[in-house]
Structure 1
Amino acid sequence: MRPSQEAEYREFVASNMASLRRFGYLVCGDWHRAEDAVQTVFVKLYTDWNKAQRRAIGPYSRRMVVNALHDIHRRGWFRRERTKEAVPDVAPPLPTDDSDERIVLLDALAKLPVRRRATLVLRYWEDHTVEETAQIMGCSVSTVKSQTAKALRTLRELLPDPVHEHLEGVPS
């Protein structure tokens, strides 16, 4: 990699690490798995930075995070970990505007399959259009619509009434 490309790559990593980690956390519900997925993405981007630059790097990197999380989940490595007496690090706190409803919503979101979670996060957390979400997810617009509808239906079933009322304004 040329020095100018190295600088571009470093700038991309520095400016996108936090948002990709947050995106990964919202998709999988686990800071450590999100961090592993993002690190995997950064390694893959580094090895093929020329190809990555020819793409819309923001959506492309988010799709890579979803794919990495899907691969991690499929491998099941986190189920084989051995626990230790002391936890070496602490997960970053959620933003300070947390409420009980937000925690309940995040717990319900964690029960959804990875692709449905990713669709909801892209559509309603990151405010992407259906078309942008389809591009990021690498699927059709109709798939995004059906995954969103199924995910919202499941969330409505999982959430208690006070939180459920906030989803009433969200179209199915």
Structure 2
Amino acid sequence: MDAGQLSFEQYVRDRKVSLSRIAYLLTGDHHLAEDLVQQTLLKMAGRWRHVVASGDPDPYVRKALYHEHVSWWRRARRRAEVAAPAVDRSMPDSTDPVAVAVAVQQALARLAPRQRAALVLRYFEDLSETQTAEVLGCRVGTVKSQVRDGLARLRVLAPELADLLEVQS
């Protein structure tokens, strides 16, 4: 089925899990991730014909998801800050994928939102630097510096993930 004939309902069925994963990595919270995906899809539903007319809807929806997240953290920054949750800094068992996933999620939560978004799009969504720049609405050089700085920050904030971070460099 070509993108022009793709119904909104079918797109949501096919991509909701992937969009939820991106949203979770951006927000660090399952409930906020669900809200972020729902809010983004609600906005997409009203313009679905325009979205599919442009071709592949994935880049458009990812960009909308990211921009919705940005507006959330901008609003949150204006409100009083809430104390960050306690972080487990013990070394994750590298043979336990759940422990590694939790450690990565906690480490990502400690990054600045733009660094977190750049890392999520590059390494979890496997987008190219150019595609990531398009989603974030910035230049490729900015993506490169956000990824570089994000990885460097993770090395300081989460030394327990050093082996995993070396693979990504």
With the length of structure 1 as denominator, give the TM-score of the two structures. Answer: 0.78
CA shift, 1:12, in A, is: 0.8
Equivalent position of 1:141 in the other structure? 140
CA shift, 1:108, in A, is: 0.9
Q: Mapping of 1:1-172 within 5 angstroms?
A: 8-55=7-54, 56-76=56-76, 98-161=97-160, 163-171=161-169
CA distance in 1, matches of 2:68, 2:33: 9
CA distance in 1, matches of 2:8, 2:98: 37
AA of the residue aligned to 1:165 = D
CA shift, 1:151, in A, is: 0.5
Q: Which SS does the other structure have where 1:166 is aligned?
A: helix
Q: Which SS does the other structure have where 1:127 is aligned?
A: coil
Count residues with an aligned counterpart: 149
With the length of structure 2 as denominator, give the TM-score of the two structures. Answer: 0.79
CA shift, 1:66, in A, is: 1.1
Equivalent position of 1:91 in the other structure? none
Contiguous gaps of at least 5 residues in structure 1: 81-96
CA distance in 2, matches of 1:166, 1:41: 31
Q: Which SS does the other structure have where 1:168 is aligned?
A: helix
CA shift, 1:98, in A, is: 3.0
Cα shift readout 1:11-35 (whole Å, capped 9, x = no counterpart) = 1111111110111001110111111
CA shift, 1:102, in A, is: 2.8
Contiguous gaps of at least 5 residues in structure 2: 81-95
Cα shift readout 1:69-105 (whole Å, capped 9, x = no counterpart) = 121222239x79xxxxxxxxxxxxxxxx634333222
Percent identity, aligned pairs only, is 37
Cα shift readout 1:85-132 (whole Å, capped 9, x = no counterpart) = xxxxxxxxxxxx634333222101011122211111111112111112
Check the 8 A contact 1:66/1:115 in 2, yes or no.
Answer: no
